[in-house]
Amino acid sequence: MKIDIDETLPEYFFKFTSAKRAIEIVKNSQLWFSNPKTFNDPFDTNIDLIDFEPNDKQIAMVINDKVQGNRRTRREEIKKNNKNAHRIRNQFSEQSNDFFQNSGVCCFSEVNDNILLWAHYANNHKGVCLKFHKTISDITTMTGKVKYRDKYQKASFFNHEGGAIYHLIFTKAQDWHYEQEIRALRILDFGKTDFRIEKLTEIIFGCKTEKRVIQYFKKILADLNLKHIILKQATQTKSSFKLRIE
């Protein structure tokens, strides 16, 4: 299969969250990078998206690189693994899975007005949407757009090299296409990560966000002297199933 790598990012992208978590993000200038084990989609970052089956040439390369000893010893080990490559396959599969499962992912979207995103990730429209400049990706190892696929296709670990890992991280089922997700990754690091507050440019309140919550955000921004952050709110239109940000 062909690995489609797209690292072009829009100028801004958005994070939907609850008001409580948004307050913590603003106060502490920290974003949370989740461990993939906690994802709600069991197919997301599933190691089965990678095919670890090596061919004879690749087995020889691995053995020559890993096995100590003379040429005869290596030849015997290569012959043994050619008949049954499960040891190499399982070794690389387990190592890759452990490596990624100890990394962190932070999810954003290209859009700020999708009613499903507001419902699913912003506390049923009572939360907020945070707008970040694309340079927020400076705190990540890798940031890119998720690719949505109808077919469950595997990438070859040995033939696609780093592309197979990219496929694992940035591939989701077509059902999730409405999210238009931009995914940020930190290798071997998950949890809270500091960012420069200047990267946060807008706070958008949901159409059901309580007035007292909005007033509290205004107080926080005033106390922290964050004059650069613009406040907006999503409102329901009266003639369509759409939100207007104003």
Q: What is the domain range of residue 119?
A: 12-37+105-151+161-245
Q: Which residues of the chain carry a pLDDT beneath 50?
A: 67-68, 74, 78, 81-84
**Does residue 114 lie within any of the structural domains?**
yes
Instruction: Identify which of 45, 58, 56, 13 has the alpha carbon closest to the alpha carbon of residue 157.
Output: 58
Residue 190 domain-assigned?
A: yes
pLDDT of residue 1: 60
pLDDT computed for residue 37 by the predictor: 85
pLDDT one-digit tens code per residue, 140-149: 999 999 999 9
The rounded Cα 144 to chain-centroid distance in angstroms is 8
82 found inside a domain: no
Domain count, the chain: 1
pLDDT at 226: 97
Residue 64: inside a domain: no
Beta-carbon contacts of residue 104 (< 8 Å; ≥ 6 apart): 33, 34, 35, 185, 186, 189, 190, 191, 193
Residue 83: predicted pLDDT: 45
Q: Does residue 76 sit within a domain?
A: no
Would residue 156 count as lying in a domain? no
Q: How far is it, in rounded angstroms, from Cα 105 to Cα 137? A: 12
Task: Specify the pLDDT at position 216.
Answer: 97
Has residue 233 been placed in a domain? Answer: yes
- The reply to whether 84 falls in a domain is no
CB 200 within 8 A of CB 217: no
Q: Please give the model's pTM, rounded to 2 decimal places.
A: 0.85
The answer to whether 152 and 164 are in contact (CB under 8 A) is no
